[in-house]
Amino acid sequence: MVVVAASLLGASCGEVTDPDAEVVTVGALVPLSGGQSALGEAVEASLTLAADIINASLEDAESPWRVNLRIEDSRSDPELAFEKLRAMSEDGVRVVVGPFDTDSIVFAAPLADRLSTVLLACAPVLPDTEDDNDRLGRMFPALTREVDAVAEELNSNGVKHVAFVGRDGDWSVAYIDMLADKLIDRGGTVRGTILYDPNANDINDFTDEMTELAGLLGPAINSFGSESVGVFLLTQDEGVQLFEQADAASVLGQVRWFGSSGMSRIPEVLASSDARSFAAATSYTAPLFYEVDSNGYQAVEQGVRDAIGRDVPSPAVVAYDALWIAALTINQVTNRSDPILLRGALPNVLNGYAGVTGSFAPDGDGNRAEGGYDLWTVRQNGTNVEWIKTTAFEPPEE
């Protein structure tokens, strides 16, 4: 099985047409609703595209098996992802793509180990999350790579004193700890941390958080000047409501705003006039895993764009590669439902696979070694406000 990038868009539909073919189900935990629904729509289209092309390739190769894609809505909810993973395992699914958020991976990885399920984690993994590489395929570099990218962006903009606002969870806490260390090493300070419950009924009401944030920013601006003070968000799609409730004419609009990949390049920011205005006024900037300048990447991106009618975030293209990794792993074993054989085959596939988003060979900690981050900023572009790619972060060579 070989990915032929130049022929991706011309591939025929990969429906299973051979009634005698063995059908192997690959699961996917995709946030079709909840805090990452914008990403989830693109991921679903990307996985469907990959499944079609994989099945067409298997048919052309006269292979005895075909892939069946089972997509479950995780709603970006770790507990729900946990239960959906359990249900798929009970139905005999042995390889699962996802989840697509770090907190859900924290929940799902130990369960995947107990259930002998190969989990292809489609978000950065926390340092203490299941370090055995044979059961957890890491589709992204370590979380430290993203933190390094935003630390460099803060530094290049002269922002040294930062207030954090975000979801209360393992991912946010780890992210803040790592970024705070980098700020302090460069002579900066943490002005305060405001965490909210992402499962609360009033998650879209940020009145109290904005009042508290204004109380943190005022003294910081007086002490250090507005140019060296910033706000850093660790949110998902609900950050749009936060922008809508932030007053650009107040102290909130006097500083630069930054964020994590959880709210980078999402269309909802531009669709809301209030959110769009505030994000542009504060030059809101956030990282996203890099886009590869290759025919293969562009072909997949175009195929997904045709399906959803808008720009495609890079994690959706990574999902395309993840399903290929799943299929290649299954293709290496004779008993395609044997979890021990599948887990044994995965490291070989990861070491040898170069997909449309690049190499997936792991580093010494089992995370994806290759890949940088693009920084996207909301800016006025003529008469329009757009997400503009402003910086590219490449990790230093070791």
Q: 62 with 128: CB under 8 angstroms?
A: no
Is pLDDT of 254 > 50? yes
Higher pLDDT, 214 or 396: 214
* pLDDT at residue 212 in the model: 98
Beta strands at 256-259 and 358-359: parallel, antiparallel or unpaired: unpaired
* pLDDT at residue 336 in the model: 92
**What is the band of 6 on the pLDDT scale with cuts at 50, 70, 90?**
very low
* pLDDT at residue 331 in the model: 95
Is pLDDT of 193 > 90? yes
- Model pLDDT for residues 67-80, shown as the tens digit of each residue: 999 999 999 899 99
Q: What is the mean pLDDT of residues 176-187?
A: 97
Would the CATH topology of 5-143+293-359 be identical to that of 144-290+373-393?
yes
- Model pLDDT for residues 325-349, shown as the tens digit of each residue: 999 999 999 899 898 899 999 999 9
* pLDDT at residue 130 in the model: 53
Higher pLDDT, 5 or 3: 3
As a whole number of angstroms, the distance between CA 314 and CA 334 comes to 33
Q: What is the mean pLDDT of residues 41-66?
A: 96
Is pLDDT of 14 > 50? no
**What is the band of 16 on the pLDDT scale with cuts at 50, 70, 90?**
low
Could you give the percent of the chain with pLDDT greater than 90? 83
* pLDDT at residue 265 in the model: 95
Is pLDDT of 272 > 90? yes
Domain ranges of the chain: 5-143+293-359, 144-290+373-393
SS3 127: coil
Is pLDDT of 307 > 90? yes
CATH topology of domain 5-143+293-359: Rossmann fold (3.40.50)
Residue 19 CB coordination number (10 Å): 6
CATH topology of domain 144-290+373-393: Rossmann fold (3.40.50)
SS3 234: strand
**What is the band of 11 on the pLDDT scale with cuts at 50, 70, 90?**
very low
Q: 16 with 68: CB under 8 angstroms?
A: yes
* pLDDT at residue 7 in the model: 39
- Model pLDDT for residues 194-229, shown as the tens digit of each residue: 999 998 877 889 999 999 999 999 999 999 999 999
Is pLDDT of 357 > 70? yes
- Roughly how many angstroms between the first and final C-alpha of the chain, as a whole number? 32
SS3 223: helix
Sheet containing 189-196: give its strands across. 189-196, 161-167, 229-234, 256-259, 285-289, 373-381, 384-393
Q: 99 with 122: CB under 8 angstroms?
A: yes
> Crossing angle of helices 102-114/78-90, nearest 10°?
30
As a whole number of angstroms, the distance between CA 370 and CA 367 comes to 9
Q: What is the mean pLDDT of residues 293-309?
A: 96
Q: What is the mean pLDDT of residues 121-127?
A: 92
- Model pLDDT for residues 126-178, shown as the tens digit of each residue: 887 655 555 789 999 999 999 999 999 999 999 999 999 999 999 999 999 99
Angle (CA) 28-30-31 rounded to 5° is 165
